[in-house]
Structure 1
Amino acid sequence: MASASDLYIGLMSGTSMDGIDAALVSFAGSQPELLATHTTHYGTTLRQRIIAASQNKANPDELGELDHQIGQLFAQAACAALELSGLTASQVTAIGSHGQTVRHQPRSAHPFSMQLGDPNIIVERTGIPTVADFRRRDLAAHGEGAPLAPAFHQAFFAHPDEDRCILNIGGIANISWLPGNSGQTTLGFDTGPGNALLDAWCQDQTGKPFDQNGRWASEGRIHQDLLNDLLSDAYFSLPPPKSTGKEKFNLQWLKTFLNRHPDATGADIQRTLLELTVTTITHQLPESGSLKIFACGGGVYNDELMNQLRRACAPCPVSITDELGIHAQWVEAIAFAWLAQQTMEKRPGNLPDVTGASGGRILGGVYWP
């Protein structure tokens, strides 16, 4: 039986901006144990407002209202997971809330990363200490503020005899390189769009928020000239550390390229965007003769995307993190539960070699009941 000091709730809403995953986790054993999970969806109108905010289309009043509304939903998600577990708030050490990123600009003249979801509301409604605002301390130490999950991946997925890559396919795709040779360094960075452009184009053309199982993409063909044009974006050739978001890879970015390729059909564009995700992942994988890839995030449920990824990575095997004992849907939420534990125990949560920070840092602020 886990003690109270081992129990944490992780709250995560990623760059797909579709809802909040809540995971109540025990860290009593050698692997995280999921005790309860819950997903709170945003709904169409709120999601559209969040996406608009991420594209710099929100005034201060709108940002303030979104911060409050998202905070209420994050609190709701945490309460739902707690209720499902049968535990009480006093048994949980802390909540780790990622918040909802609406702007991430680590390379601007004045670097920043903005997450909405007021942690004051979360702690007020749950009565549980809440750790939030994880990214800005790393930014203050001259890091990218992202990705943060590689530290968690290193702690629970690394294997001394095997080169592994953890591939998270959310709105943005990122990889964690976990070399089996202890003399090598764990690395991680955002490769570029994961589901972001696929979802945006599907919504724009069909009114549906995503392409179920990649069926629409499977009806199209790769438009090679368009793909080459998309791949010319400078982000893809940047060396790590690097991170990005929907403030860059969005519908407006895509349409600047589509104007040069008027012959491309809707389905062909969808298939080409899928190939863009696959290509930018595979071209940035580390060199290894025995690499094993384990995927997580919403992209693992896109059959066409996973089929094409396996084709492109062959003979390197592509599995999902379930095979390592952690369900692919819940890896990110569990990671922020673990990051909350790191903070509460006054341990660094970042990896300087990943983010580019000047050193390990205790991340986030703690909000007390």
Structure 2
Amino acid sequence: MPDPQNKQYIGLMSGTSLDGVDGVLAEFAPDGTIRTIAAAYLPFPPALREDLLKLQAPSENEIHLEALSANGLAHVYAACVTDLLANAGVTAESVHAVGAHGQTIRHRPESGYTWQTGNPALLAELTGIDVVADFRSRDIAAGGQGAPLVPAFHQAVFGNAEEVRVVANIGGIGNISVLDRCRGITGFDTGPGNVLMDAWISRHLGKPYDAGGAWAASGTEIPALLTEMMAEPYIALPPPKSTGRDLFHADWLAAKLTGYTAASPEDVQATLAAFTAESIAEAVAKHAANAAAVYVCGGGACNSHLMQRLQQSLDARKHQARVQSTDALRISPNHVEALAFAWLAHRFSERKAGNLPRVTGASGLRILGALYPA
């Protein structure tokens, strides 16, 4: 019989890659133990994905488009919740709350805002479960970046007193959490993850992503282009910092490619993979020189070429860290971020802070999220 002191939460995450929604149902015990009960994934309908892509930049009638997209996203989220409940064999009444990140369509902390669309009120109506959403704006209100929010969760589930670890999430954007109990926990966005590689292969091959990095592996890196990419000012900025499609988009890439019109598409893809690997390795070398391991989660963990290239980048810097997926720590790399938002919903319900001021730059600890009761 389930322990009545344990509480079940659902976490839903749709990231910068805009491929779909990952969901987990997890059980939280009073002693801090977290157990994943079920997981589910739903791809976005093509029309919804296209609309969400349009919203990444100013467009005509965008307020109307955003409202319709928020409704569409809420329906996909609700369908994922239904799958989770069915997979676990439980009812909505057994779930304390849903933590829903929403889809980021603008991230401008330098202007004092971030915006994640999703219509959590509709999600609560559709699921009959309390929804906690809007996790980032409270941190920004306190002077922070609103991102990344996962380092506190990474420390809770992956931290180790005996060694320094880095957790590298490679979704659309790359970010790292440095889990160092002696020096403190740090984390920040390193630069592009899959976002530029996905856009490039979609343009040339009509594929949503480079499965296993096979296309990148078929090309040859262009050293001069890689040097220009690494010269992007954001890479050298000190943390706290965060980024997104507001910076790393098709026009950014087009500007870098101006002098490389004769380059083959697969060589550009190889260079983009190298850029992701090099920007992460550079961040690890600067901020986690004594890390024993880099544990990768997100879609990048499924890209064997990228994982090998990241290891090469660290080896070239004479860094000791071994690169492996979070499977080695018994959490699937595809579940980590969704589980983080279940954890943040749990923190909200317990009225405990969810941010780390050292990571985001906020003026202090803050309870993150807003409640939409069922």
TM-score bracket, normalised by the shorter chain, equals over 0.9
- Could you tell me which residue of structure 2 aligns to residue 117 of structure 1? 118
8 Å contact from structure 1 (residues 294, 319) kept in 2: yes
Aligned-pair CA distance for 1:30: 4.9
- Could you tell me which residue of structure 1 aligns to residue 332 of structure 2? 327
- Residues 1-369 of structure 1 correspond to what in structure 2 (within 5 A)? 1-3=2-4, 5-28=6-29, 30-57=32-59, 59-108=62-111, 111-179=112-180, 182-285=181-284, 286-314=287-315, 315-369=320-374
CA distance in 2, matches of 1:3, 1:260: 64
Q: Which runs of 4+ in 1 moved over 4 A?
A: none
Equivalent position SS for 1:154? helix
**TM-score (normalizing by structure 2):** 0.95
Provide the alpha-carbon RMSD of the alignment.
1.3
8 Å contact from structure 1 (residues 2, 26) kept in 2: no
| 1:240-261 deviations in Å (ceiling 9; x for gaps) | 0000111211112101111222
CA distance in 1, matches of 2:172, 2:134: 20
Aligned-pair CA distance for 1:229: 1.4
**Structure 1: which 5+ runs fail to align?**
none
Task: Tell which deviates more after alignment, 115-124 or 309-318.
Answer: 309-318
Q: CA, structure 1 residues 169+290, in 2 after alignment: closer, same or farther (shift >3 Å)? A: closer
Aligned-pair CA distance for 1:328: 1.0
Matched AA of 2:153: F
CA distance in 2, matches of 1:283, 1:31: 33
Task: Tell which deviates more after alignment, 3-12 or 94-103.
Answer: 3-12
CA distance in 2, matches of 1:312, 1:154: 25
CA distance in 1, matches of 2:348, 2:163: 29
Equivalent position SS for 1:208? coil
| 1:49-100 deviations in Å (ceiling 9; x for gaps) | 2112112235111111111111111111112111221111111111000011
Give aligned-pair identity as a percent. Answer: 42
Matched AA of 1:199: D
8 Å contact from structure 1 (residues 172, 190) kept in 2: yes
CA distance in 1, matches of 2:208, 2:291: 37
Matched AA of 2:169: N
Aligned-pair CA distance for 1:290: 4.6
How many residues end up aligned between the 2 structures? 365
8 Å contact from structure 1 (residues 192, 244) kept in 2: yes
| 1:219-246 deviations in Å (ceiling 9; x for gaps) | 1111111111111211101100000111
8 Å contact from structure 1 (residues 131, 340) kept in 2: yes
Task: Tell which deviates more after alignment, 261-270 or 132-141.
Answer: 261-270
8 Å contact from structure 1 (residues 4, 92) kept in 2: no
CA distance in 2, matches of 1:64, 1:290: 44
8 Å contact from structure 2 (residues 170, 301) kept in 1: yes
Aligned-pair CA distance for 1:288: 2.6
| 1:93-136 deviations in Å (ceiling 9; x for gaps) | 1100001111111113xx21111110011110111111000000
8 Å contact from structure 1 (residues 22, 38) kept in 2: yes
| 1:252-299 deviations in Å (ceiling 9; x for gaps) | 210111122222210110000000000100001124335211111000
Task: Tell which deviates more after alignment, 302-311 or 52-61.
Answer: 52-61
CA distance in 2, matches of 1:2, 1:227: 54
8 Å contact from structure 2 (residues 100, 133) kept in 1: yes
Task: Tell which deviates more after alignment, 78-87 or 197-206.
Answer: 78-87
Equivalent position SS for 1:284? helix
Aligned-pair CA distance for 1:357: 0.3
Aligned-pair CA distance for 1:2: 4.1
8 Å contact from structure 1 (residues 172, 194) kept in 2: yes
8 Å contact from structure 1 (residues 75, 121) kept in 2: no
Task: Tell which deviates more after alignment, 149-158 or 259-268.
Answer: 259-268
Matched AA of 1:352: P
Matched AA of 2:242: S
8 Å contact from structure 2 (residues 155, 185) kept in 1: yes
